[in-house]
Amino acid sequence: MAEQRDTAILVYIGTWTNDDRDGIYVYRLDPASGALDFISKATEGDHPFFLALDARHRYLYAANAVQECDGQPGGAISAFAIDAVMGGLTRLNRQPSHGTLPCYLSLDQTGRYVFTANYSSGSVAVLPIQADGRLGPATAVVQHTGSSVNPQRQDSSHVHAIVPDPTNRYVVAADLGLDQLRLYRFDATQGVLTPHDPPWVQVAAGAGPRHIIFHPNGRYAFLINELDNTIVAYAYDAAQGTLTELQTTSTLPAGWTDATYSADIRVGPSGRVLYGSNRGHDSIALFLIDEATGRLTPAGHAPAQGAWPWNLAIDPTAAFLLAANNHSDRVVVFRLDEQTGQLVFTGHTADVPAPVCIAMMPRTT
């Protein structure tokens, strides 16, 4: 009889607790029910604020919200090897992030570089990935300067995300402190960032750009703003590396006036649906995407089934969406409908201390 293949999904959860409970938690997601089963925990995570997987699912990279790395003040980026059988993590090495509070990671399209955004210090960096998955010293570090209109949150640069475009020729950094999307040309042979012309796209004053994501067709990008709780849809010209605003829409229902802060943004693999999380309103906003125009149509809100949904993730089969409810110490599993965008709570959760990031991949054995 042929050996049965394990089709489960591996789930990696980063935590930020500032005590001995944090680390990277590894779970198995049942592809039929959405149930989460604990596998292991990597205690070498060192306050793992954000996670990113390489495309071949051999390595995981974590942004470490530590105070110093190898004698240098500031955060770190760690590389982990993924066990092919159980999905466990073994730390390979770490490198300085060249800034304080690294809060976001992404890999370039070749899988040869890691980009990181340092929130507190307002800088971005590029680190090369070596043949064995280890990280080399940074090949580029760029410091942002300036401020915007909110004296409490925008007194200086606070870079909250950095992502390559689908062509790998350009990189976009969302700077919450400056109300700007900083644009860079990317040299994938040297790992170097050069300011684009124009070097930024201005966002509405006080909006607080947080995370940006490209549509699967490469023609649109969507930005979620933390401070004014909006999503901006952009047309993207991949040949020129330019963004043109199409629409701005609220992540909140009409009439909501209490404090809330938008956080993460995800587009379903089909390109038909978009999700944004609201911390305070404690909901997931649903939108339908018009693939002909890039414009969004609100499709309601799903309760987050917990407090402060910091991060969202869609599993590789597009059957489930997971929400990291930071203040509830709980990761929640929803079944998603890629046609309507609707989310249905499965009843399955995982108790994880202060979850801040989720990354998923298929189990290969």
- Residue 285 CA to residue 283 CA, distance in Å, equals 6
For residue 5, what pLDDT band results from cuts at 50, 70 and 90? very low
- CB of 322 within 8 A of CB of 332? yes
- CB of 346 within 8 A of CB of 335? yes
- pLDDT attached to residue 281: 98
19-23, 106-110, 306-310, 352-356: least confident range: 19-23
- Residue 363 confidence (pLDDT) above 80: no
- CB of 301 within 8 A of CB of 343? no
Helix (H, G, I), strand (E, B) or coil at 326: helix
Contacts of residue 219, defined as CB under 8 A and 6 or more positions apart, other chains included, come to 235, 236, 238, 294
DSSP letters for 88-125? -EEEEEEEE-SSSSEEEEEE-TTSSEEEEEETTTTEEE
- Residue 6 confidence (pLDDT) above 70: no
184-211 pLDDT tens trace: 999 999 999 999 999 999 999 999 999 9
- CB of 309 within 8 A of CB of 300? no
- pLDDT attached to residue 364: 60
For residue 2, give both structure tokens. Answer: 């042929």
Contacts of residue 153, defined as CB under 8 A and 6 or more positions apart, other chains included, come to 176, 177, 208, 227
**Quick count: other Cβ atoms within 10 Å of Cβ 331?**
25
DSSP letters for 141-200? EEE-----S-TTT-SS--EEEEEE-TTSSEEEEEETTTTEEEEEEEETTTTEEEEEEEEE
Per-residue pLDDT, averaged over 75-102, amounts to 95
Percentage of residues in the chain having pLDDT higher than 90: 90
- Residue 162 confidence (pLDDT) above 50: yes
Spell out the domain ranges in the chain: 9-362
For residue 19, what pLDDT band results from cuts at 50, 70 and 90? confident
Per-residue pLDDT, averaged over 167-174, amounts to 98
- CB of 12 within 8 A of CB of 359? yes
Question: Parallel, antiparallel, or unpaired: how do β-strands 72-73 and 68-69 relate?
Answer: antiparallel
Nearest Cα residue to 118 out of 148, 91, 95: 95
Nearest Cα residue to 177 out of 138, 134, 258, 122: 122
- Residue 16 CA to residue 73 CA, distance in Å, equals 19
Mean pLDDT of the chain: 95
What pTM does this model have?
Answer: 0.96
- Residue 258 confidence (pLDDT) above 90: yes
- Residue 341 CA to residue 330 CA, distance in Å, equals 23
DSSP letters for 270-299? TSSEEEEEEETTTEEEEEEE-TTT--EEEE
284-301 pLDDT tens trace: 999 999 999 999 999 999
35-47 pLDDT tens trace: 999 999 998 878 9
Nearest Cα residue to 123 out of 99, 139, 107: 99
Tell me yes or no: is domain 9-362 CATH 3.50.50.100: no
Nearest Cα residue to 225 out of 292, 158, 289, 166: 158
- pLDDT attached to residue 164: 98
DSSP class of residue 342 equals -
Dihedral sign computed on CA atoms, order 188, 181, 141, 74: negative
